[in-house]
Amino acid sequence: MKLSVPRETAPEERRIAVSPDSIPRLLALGVSVQVERGAGEAAGFSDQALEAAGATLAADPKSCLEGSGVVCKVQPPNLDEVPLLPEGATLVSFLPTSASPQLLRALCGRHITAISFELIPRISRAQAMDALSSQASIGGYKAVLMGADRLAKIMPLQMTAAGTIPPSRVLVLGAGVAGLQAIATARRLGAVVEAYDVRPAVRDEVRSLGATFVELELEAQEGEGGYAREQSEEFLAKQRELIGQRVQQSDLVVTTAAIPGRPSPVLVTKEMVEGMRAGSVLVDLAAEGGGNCQLTIPGEEVVVNGVRIVGLRNLPAMVASTSSQMYARNVATVCAHLVKGGELSLDLSDEITNASCAIHAGEIRNELMREAALGGVGKS
């Protein structure tokens, strides 16, 4: 069976779905690996390095994809790429529940089996497949470096002959994978770090990284599966007051509350930003979903009353070599789960396969995607 990796076409996407390290793992499954020429250049993986690892190079997307049983990508294909996918092939990529109805129907029309990384269940058996977490970790790291670069002051405490320079104060909103990596990075740079999350269960993780956990003395806000539940009006009011105070005291604020396929919750209001000191920076990792800050403009950097708000998208792609290495390992693990003896073995009774298989046999299996596709019939 042929496994193909075409060049990514999404704007500013520098990652690739395989790496020189992952190709031998794929070959060990009994498949051949074909990569479009130039697909790894932006991530620092030359054609020669990929070929030396065992991949065959293809001159263009059509020849790369022709006859493929499995197609591995980072971003989902666009409408122009779908006709190039072999009918009945299996696609392994990010495919959010917010994907366009036109794309979902086009994939169904070619009887593509789509395995979505957004739908991989968060169970111990699937940890090595969790691309959302691997890429979020890179995003949290990059967000702090971007913020530090844009600050007009240094991060660590310094005691010099010219006097003592106090450390920068960093506030991280959300203590998931991205938030914890942001905390760790800011601490390594010498900042004083505070973190806030509505889930009290993450308190010990935050403190273990040397940060202060900011909490409200109200009812726990954790629902089923470790996710935050719907919050009471009393809690929301207290939350806004507490966050507002901490935001205004911080030099750098990193917001990380992104919800795949849904709009990002607003945590930092216009009034909070107006209370921040000039020269402060806010990096919004949830910009793709509209942003955690009311003044975030997705894809842009803006300055409001002297405060720089960074809403750039796809931070992992800015660290393309490392993020591709991590993503390629996630891809290889998923393929090892799906491929047996060199052939695709799709067992929908398996918990991981069943949950992550968004489309199969011309039907949309994920409920949110199915509702979007049906609701989008006839719409432009």
d(CA 132, CA 110): 27
**Rg of the chain (C-alpha set):** 22
Please tell me what DSSP assigns to residue 293: B
Bridging pattern class, strands 363-364 and 357-360: antiparallel
**With contact defined as beta carbons under 8 Å apart, do 245 and 270 qualify?**
no
Pair 142, 316: CB distance under 8 Å: yes
Contact of 236 with 265, CB cutoff 8 Å: no
Q: Where are the beta strands (DSSP E) in the chain?
A: 2-5, 32-36, 56-58, 70-72, 90-93, 113-116, 158-160, 163-165, 169-173, 192-196, 212-214, 252-255, 281-284, 301-304, 307-310, 339-340, 343-344, 357-360, 363-364
Is there a catalytic annotation at residue 350? no
Q: Which of 133, 137, 181, 323 is catalytic?
A: 133
DSSP structural state of residue 230: P
Half-sphere exposure for 374 (CA within 13 Å, toward CB) = 9
Active site residue 135: no
Distance in angstroms (rounded) separating the CA atoms of residues 73 and 254: 29
122 catalytic residue (yes or no): yes
Active site residue 137: no
127, 208, 232, 345: which one is catalytic? 127
Cα of 236 vs its chain's centroid, Å: 27
Active-site annotation holds for 327: no
**How far is Cα of residue 99 from the mean position of the Cα atoms in its chain?**
15
Distances (CA, A) of 161 to 153, 165, 166, 190, 191: 18, 11, 14, 19, 21
Determine contact, residues 75/93, Cβ cutoff 8 Å. yes
Cβ proximity of 262 and 291 under 8 Å: no
Catalytic one of 48, 122, 207, 277? 122
Active-site residue, from 34, 130, 264, 329: 130
CB-CB contact of 254 with 171 (8 Å): yes
- Other CB atoms within 10 A of residue 54 CB: 14
Hey, which residues are catalytic here?
122, 127, 130, 133, 227
